[in-house]
A and B are shown apart, each in its own frame.
Chain A
Amino acid sequence: MWLARVLVPVVVIGGWQLFTATGIVDKFFFGQPSGVWHSLVHLFQHGTAFGSIWLNLWVTIKEALYGFLLGTAAGILLGLLLGQNRFLADVIGPYIKILNSIPRIILGAIFIVAFGLGTFPKVLLAAVLVFFIVFFNAFQGVREVDPNLVANVKVLGASPLQVARHVTIPSALTWIIASLHTAFGFAIIGALVAEVLGAQHGIGLLISQAQGQFDMNTVFACMTITSVVTLVAEYLITLLERRVLAWRPPSRAEAASI
């Protein structure tokens, strides 16, 4: 199994290198693995036109992280609130659906124009992308609460706030945490897209510059860097999930998965 697993990237990257080296595929348009590697080394050794790669990476991570936190907080808060309050859900629910149907990437253009080239519009776009994912999960999580548990804790004398603390929130947490995996990916996308649309620093800016100069190798290099960041974040979220959801029985599907 491990051998086959190692073989996959060897074949893909090796094939890519082979085809571009022999000229069957034009490396001008599709880049070349060795060129991507050189670009990576260059980025880390000589920096970029907009400061060191670390500075740019940090800017992007910061934007994505703030956006992630903001969107998650808003999503959880509103999800819990609407999930528990049928009246609010009936009033606000349709509007959230309408907003959700907007192609949100386009909002980036508006945010850049409205709030300039700084950090804020990137954070905002990332937060908007994250919000809907977390919101729908939190909302559903609250709706799926076992009514038996609610009845039980009520009989034991819980106030509505205590019902939320002891039953609704822990129960919805399973759903919320599951959504965070996807949400962080979207936070990165939001930050990158907003940077492509207009920025002073950031990986997205590097990508759009490299694209302007037909430097595909650098585009691929930036892509690799962001993938690593997302993978690390994914790992951290998995750690958090294990910690918070330690009570869950190990499911058969999980044991068999990656």
Chain B
Amino acid sequence: MFQIRIHGRGGQGVVTAAEMLSVAAFMEGHHAQAFPSFGSERTGAPVVAYCRIDDREIRLREPILEPDAIIIQDPTLLNQVDVFGGLRREGYILINTSRTFEALGLGEFAAQFPASHLCTVPATEIAMKHVGRPMPNAALLGGFAAVTGRITLESVFAAIREKFSQRVAEGNIAAAAESFAHARPEKEELHHAQAD
């Protein structure tokens, strides 16, 4: 089972991101389960959503306490919420930011994880460019596909099409594609850095 926890703020499409991720996994023939942290969400309040992917029926209903991947939609949460709580040693971290892990003060922490599992994507800027709104969720899913290889970019596109009207979907697809391209070279560079 592969478990993803998504942190963000109310209004950033955190729950929708988990749902789209589950749809993308479903389209590839996997079992998937997405659910929100069941808060009475308010705009701007910290929100958590979860997604589990497996090749057999998922019966577990507890929150994801030991995620394999964490997506952080809003880096201002880093000082407010224990976003990395329980992350597995080989886990993935994807942060919506134009800064580096070092610049975010996470250099030492991030060094515990495989460099190729770490990724930052300026998803809000990418979303502003393609969607016209600061909604980083779909863009981050493109980054997730690139960094984890758990789902294909095509499945992310299909999930976006299922969730949004055609006009909104096209912008989000472009955002996901740009994030994917952004995350891929970064990942390759890190691979090289590791090899050095």
A and B co-occur in one complex: no
Chain A residues close to B by CB (< 8 Å): none
